[in-house]
Structure 1
Amino acid sequence: MTALDDLRNAAGVEFDFAPGAQVPLSGAGSGRTGLSQRIASVAYRDGSPSQIKEPNDGAKVNEGKFTLLEPDLGEAFTRAVETRMLADGRKPLIQAFGAEPQVVVEHALAAKRIRRQRDRRLTVIMAVFGLLFLPGVAVWLGLFQLRRTFAGSQDRRAGALGSALLLAIAALVVLLVLRAPVTGVLQIYLWAMLPAPVIGWFLAKQVAERTAKNLRAHWADLAGGGGSGVVVPEAVPQNPNDADAERLRIGLAKLAAEQESNLTYYAGTKGILGMGVRWGHWHLAEDLRPRDPGREIDPFRSWDVARAIGDQMRLLERGPLHTGGFSAPVITHWVVRHVGEGAGEVGRPEGPDAEGYRFSKIEVERICNEQQYGAGDRHYLGVQFVLWEGELVITMMITVTVLHHTLRIEVSGYALGPLDGFFGKKPSPPTKSVRGFPKFWTKRDVPQPVVNASEAVRLAARAPLTWFPKTLDKWGGTIALPEPFGLRHTWATKPWNHRFMVDDVLRTATPVLRVALSAAFKVLRENGVDMAPFDARAASLSGAIQDLSPKHADEYGM
């Protein structure tokens, strides 16, 4: 068995690597593509990596050893997405309800490919003007590194003292070159040593400028929710031993399979990871008593009730009037695991009853019937609506438990709000404010190149090291995404500031609760249960839910 066979078995996926295999277009025809593309737009952006903390301050910026080699936001985000979502041995991901993670990953790979093409050209320029005139390049890079050390990495001014020191050092270098005690060819080389890198810098700036405009065009398209799908040619093996392509392809398949997992996690007051906080909770609990005196009720299990509720929920989109009504819900029997509010990572389904990233149907049924008290995973029936093109995810979770003679039906509401506005920001053309002439008391904005002098030097210095990403991570720095990481819930805001989203969340609860009770009661009647106490309790609960309002259902104020 080859290493590639081991990789396939570890991934739990199979592929047909026949000639002509293609990677499908990302997100074609999906209503969630616009949201995913806004997230993906970060991979094409420029600017400071620290901007990633704006939508979620749980992200961390790990500084490198040399500020001259630090990545910009797009480079750092692309690297973080690639390593976090495709690397071998990565931690599990949280499902991205309302989004398509594969779209984001594919765009990150596309942005990497654009930058890699730029870096190839910059590497050639560095080889010609860097190796041949290495002492001059070292002097220039040293001066730029000193400037960034004095001024910071984000184009702030170096200050009067820093500028004076830089000028003094530069003048000293020029004086030493001109007064060097050499003649002939060596003197000509020394005199060319300082201006030659400037020619290389000018060529590098042209290359970087063209690429920056290309990246910004993609950024603008995706931030507006537009843009087209991308292909990932790197994931199409060119031969049976193309390990890198197959590794990437398997990583994408694992990513898609993991999104279909039926295991999710409860994180205290954060609610269910990926679904949002719990904003409402209703329950009905009554004793199971036989309807007919002298006769026992027919035996049934919690799974019988949960399955009946799930079957009935599939009919939610139907109604007596043609009013549009509900969209088709996603019905899922979930296994929910508690991880705590401060958890840094989550697990995966394990054991003989795990099938890839999912628990088997038999195991889900066993958990529903047997794990209702004490330690262990719990079963919930989920009814999920993805609305507003993925901006709003409404999930109603239903659980059925039987303890002694008491049957308890609980319905909880969870809501995940829209993306942070950070992802909708479009690029603005760089400008510089200058005083007017002859009206010096006025100011006007003058367009500036996308890539300035410092940026061109940074890109040229990083280019040769992009072939050694781990070394570049160490020397230049990286960003760490918030954990437990999921592409959707990590960047979500609260839905309560949007009037219509609030209405949709609140309107969902009443019909879902009533359908759940109706389906459960049908099972109870069929098994000879006295329904009088259940009907009375249901009437009271149905009236109470008329006046519902969102609240912190997981904060008990103790």
Structure 2
Amino acid sequence: MAGFDDLEGAYDFSPGAQVPLTGAGSGQTAATHALASAAYRDGPVTDLIAANGDAKVSAPRFSLFEPNLGEAFARAVQVRMLGGARKPLIQSFGCEPQTVVEHCLAANRIRRQRDARLTVVMVLFGLLFLPGVLLWLGGFQLRRTLAGAQDKRAGALGGVVLAALGVLAVVFVIQLPFTGFWGIYLRVMLVAPVVGWLWAKQICERYAKDLRSRWEGLLSGGGVGAKIPEAVPHAPGDAEAENIRLNLAKLTAEQRSNLVFYAGSKGILGMGTRWGSWQLAEELVPATPGTEINPFRSWDVVRAIHDRLRMLERGPLHTGGFPTPSIRHWVVAPVGEGASEVARPDGQEVEAYRIKDFEVQRICNEQQFDSGNRHYLGVQFVLWDGQLVITMLVNVTVLHHTLRIEVTGHALGPVHPLFTTKPSPKTKTVSKSVRFWETKDVTLPLIDTPEVVRLAARAPLTWFPPVLDFLGGKLTLPEPFGLRHVWADKPWRHRFMADDILRTATPVLRVVHAATLKVLADNGVDTEKFGARSGVLSGQVQAAEPGRADVYNA
């Protein structure tokens, strides 16, 4: 895909104008909206580390400039998924990554609007009275350093410094040893930042309500869509907008790729770990002694299985059952368990990140032993509004006279509970003034004083992201990165999700075996041993239990 590397010769494979799909139609809104809500969140960025220990946050040089959760997440995702030097991505099954990225862009745009206003405040009340502002910022930085950047309780020395600054400001206003211009300037120098703080607090409070309303709306199912006017070119030479538009199209194309990666005990990246495996392997013997079987290839068996799997949603009784599954041919490439990145192939066999059909068929028939990629036929169910992804993979190999049909189960659980928590108002329980033995809840402002100072101090530097990352630290996402699988929780703790996973194995296995026996019988193969082995597996799969099929005891 060399044409994607530069904008001049880039191949635009975006489908053009489209009718947007509604949430009900996509069936993946819960996981998508949960991940997108992180772009609008406040709170400490360390919560993301608790959700996935492979994510890293570099230590800030000055804690006054460190980002919160939403700021760090939105910027990290935008750079990782739309950056010019980004590495290949892992598909996000059960999720729409473009929607998440669009919300990250929208959240960053809202914060830029807020920071533009805060920058004006800093220029008027900070630059003109710089010594006073530096004193106040130094006091708040000392407070955060002694108390801990995310601790609400200030250290004793930091509190003393801030109190001393307040007393000094009062003394400067009442009486000062200087007269004339410098006397007036010294008086205003410590008071002006306080006036600027009051103005900045109103700005921060207004935008905090906007961000929280979008956070609440996404998790409640009624959130507004992300608006990203910066992705629409306004002139022929608008390279930045064109770059964003093309990268969003590349992201969508990579999401539709039919190449996935097997990473040892981590399973298939994006599909989850392998929890079960059933193998039907018997000798190919002619049904009539003295004759030969009709020659057939692995692809013939796979095609027959594919046709039968399309009938999974149908049954003899009107009792619901399977929803319409996604049935696709996958090319699986092996990577190391600790690999820091993956590589997508390039060449005549690849178009828009997809391996062409003739190459998929060749891999199915020829690459069954030794090095190289392998072919799997997959039937995938996206359930629980995108929170559960069940994938059953079928692999067909023929070695010497032995035909092996292997069915494996993979499961990807719901997104981490961190992403599904709704915003709660900030309250404090206090005693009533008259009936002091009773208590009441008092609603606090969304933005407290230290947060206003942090946002105002960061605002002028948001126009220089590398400088802000250097001073305040940044979030490094786990690799190989895919929005869905790196934040996925285990599905086995949810009783109904676990039941859905285990129940899927039996009908899929039986359909695969029935299709295989039909192909064998049509080509003159004795199916007695295959049928007996299929019956044994059919009995075993009824008691399927989740295991760690990719962990070997050797």
User: Would you say same fold, with TM above 0.5?
Assistant: yes
Q: Distance in 2 between matches of 1:339 and 1:124?
A: 51
Q: Are the counterparts in 1 of residues 169 and 190 from structure 2 also a CA contact under 8 Å?
A: no
Paired amino acid for 1:6: D
1:28–1:496 distance in 2 versus 1, CA, 3 Å: closer
Q: Are the counterparts in 2 of residues 26 and 230 from structure 1 also a CA contact under 8 Å?
A: no
The aligned counterpart of 1:81 is 77
> 1:186-225 counterparts in 2 under 5 A?
186-225=182-221
Aligned pair 1:373/2:372, yes or no? no
- State the 1:156 CA deviation: 2.7
Which residue, 285, 293, 308 being the options, matches 2:281?
285
- State the 1:6 CA deviation: 3.1
Aligned pair 1:246/2:245, yes or no? no
1:254–1:218 distance in 2 versus 1, CA, 3 Å: same
Deviation digits for residues 159-192 of structure 1 (CA, Å, limit 9, x no counterpart): 3344335545666788799997753223212211
Aligned pair 1:309/2:285, yes or no? no
Deviation digits for residues 59-105 of structure 1 (CA, Å, limit 9, x no counterpart): 21112221111111111111011011111121111111111111111
The aligned counterpart of 1:506 is 502
> 1:63-74 counterparts in 2 under 5 A?
63-74=59-70
The aligned counterpart of 1:469 is 465
- State the 1:468 CA deviation: 1.2
The aligned counterpart of 1:13 is 12
Q: Distance in 2 between matches of 1:225 and 1:422?
A: 17
Which residue, 463, 475, 490 being the options, matches 1:479?
475
Which residue, 403, 408, 415 being the options, matches 1:407?
403
The aligned counterpart of 1:101 is 97
The aligned counterpart of 2:412 is 416
SS of corresponding position for 1:348: coil
Q: Distance in 2 between matches of 1:172 and 1:465?
A: 29
SS of corresponding position for 1:54: helix
SS of corresponding position for 2:475: strand
Q: Are the counterparts in 2 of residues 283 and 411 from structure 1 also a CA contact under 8 Å?
A: yes
Aligned pair 1:515/2:514, yes or no? no
- State the 1:433 CA deviation: 4.0
Alignment RMSD, CA only?
Answer: 2.4
The aligned counterpart of 1:49 is 45
Which residue, 342, 345, 348 being the options, matches 1:346?
342
SS of corresponding position for 1:6: coil
Q: Distance in 1 between matches of 2:410 and 2:14?
A: 37
1:26–1:242 distance in 2 versus 1, CA, 3 Å: farther
SS of corresponding position for 1:205: helix
Q: Distance in 1 between matches of 2:458 and 2:532?
A: 72
SS of corresponding position for 2:26: coil
Q: Are the counterparts in 1 of residues 143 and 155 from structure 2 also a CA contact under 8 Å?
A: no
Q: Answer with 315-324 or 289-298: which moved more.
A: 289-298
Q: Distance in 1 between matches of 2:503 and 2:25?
A: 28
Q: Are the counterparts in 1 of residues 233 and 242 from structure 2 also a CA contact under 8 Å?
A: yes
- State the 1:436 CA deviation: 4.4
Aligned pair 1:142/2:138, yes or no? yes
Paired amino acid for 2:265: T
Q: Are the counterparts in 2 of residues 279 and 551 from structure 1 also a CA contact under 8 Å?
A: yes
Aligned pair 1:330/2:326, yes or no? yes
SS of corresponding position for 2:346: coil
Q: Distance in 2 between matches of 1:553 and 1:321?
A: 34
Q: Are the counterparts in 2 of residues 299 and 527 from structure 1 also a CA contact under 8 Å?
A: yes
Q: Distance in 1 between matches of 2:174 and 2:59?
A: 38
Paired amino acid for 1:521: L
Q: Are the counterparts in 2 of residues 4 and 246 from structure 1 also a CA contact under 8 Å?
A: no
Deviation digits for residues 445-491 of structure 1 (CA, Å, limit 9, x no counterpart): 32211111111111111111111112211111111222222111122
Q: Are the counterparts in 1 of residues 281 and 403 from structure 2 also a CA contact under 8 Å?
A: yes
Aligned pair 1:268/2:267, yes or no? no
- State the 1:225 CA deviation: 3.8
Q: Distance in 2 between matches of 1:4 and 1:338?
A: 25
Output the TM-score relative to the length of structure 1. Answer: 0.93
1:8–1:283 distance in 2 versus 1, CA, 3 Å: farther
Paired amino acid for 1:66: F
| Structure 2: gaps spanning 5 or more residues | none
Paired amino acid for 1:91: K
Aligned pair 1:129/2:125, yes or no? yes
SS of corresponding position for 1:336: strand
Q: Distance in 2 between matches of 1:186 and 1:524?
A: 99
Q: Distance in 2 between matches of 1:34 and 1:237?
A: 31
Q: Distance in 2 between matches of 1:159 and 1:66?
A: 16
SS of corresponding position for 2:34: helix
> 1:105-116 counterparts in 2 under 5 A?
105-116=101-112
Paired amino acid for 1:538: S
Deviation digits for residues 6-34 of structure 1 (CA, Å, limit 9, x no counterpart): 32645x424599xxx79957857422113
Q: Are the counterparts in 1 of residues 64 and 472 from structure 2 also a CA contact under 8 Å?
A: yes
Output the TM-score relative to the length of structure 2. Answer: 0.94
Equivalent pairs counted in the alignment come to 552
The aligned counterpart of 1:321 is 317
